Amino acid sequence: MKIKYAIIFVLVVVLIGAGVGLKMFFKPHADISKLKSEFKVEANGLIGEFEQDENAATTKYSEKVLEITGKLASKNKLQNGTDLLMMEDEMQGISCQLDSSWAATNQATIEALETGSSVTVKGICKGYLMEIKVSPAVVVK
């Protein structure tokens, strides 16, 4: 009788373990539109920080959720269909690759964006490579 309970106990433990493992394995990517931004910054200020001390700025912002406001310099689509917004400067500004599932349901918002006007995006900062890379990102306004 005791053995029976022991077997059941072991089985339950194994099942819970497997459940937790599977849940971790299938954990979905974080939904950027629902994440809270850790920093709210002006595009020019952010570019300035990276230009002044790339390492310090990378440590401060890399993999963090940023809300950035600045001038939309250009709006493009990459070959794979990803929407790409450039802020402040087309060459050395802030590159924001929009989240594909967000973009799929918000094409009207993207189309309404005008180059030269102010835009606010929220996204994960990846660091600096000729420009500041932010991806995935969503348009806040």
Tell which one of 52, 79, 105, 117 touches another protein (CB under 8 A): 79
Strand locations in the chain (E): 39-42, 65-77, 83-87, 94-98, 118-128, 132-139
Question: From CA 91, how far away is CA 93, in angstroms rounded?
Answer: 6
Closest separation between CB of residue 11 and another protein, Å?
23
Closest separation between CB of residue 140 and another protein, Å?
21
Question: From CA 67, how far away is CA 53, in angstroms rounded?
Answer: 20
Of 6-45, which residues contact another protein (CB under 8 A)?
A: 24-30
Token pair for residue 54?
A: 């790339």
Kindly state whether residue 89 participates in binding another protein, applying the rule CB under 8 A: no
Residues forming the site for another protein (CB under 8 A): 24-30, 58, 62-63, 78-80, 82, 84, 95, 97, 126-127, 129-131, 133, 135
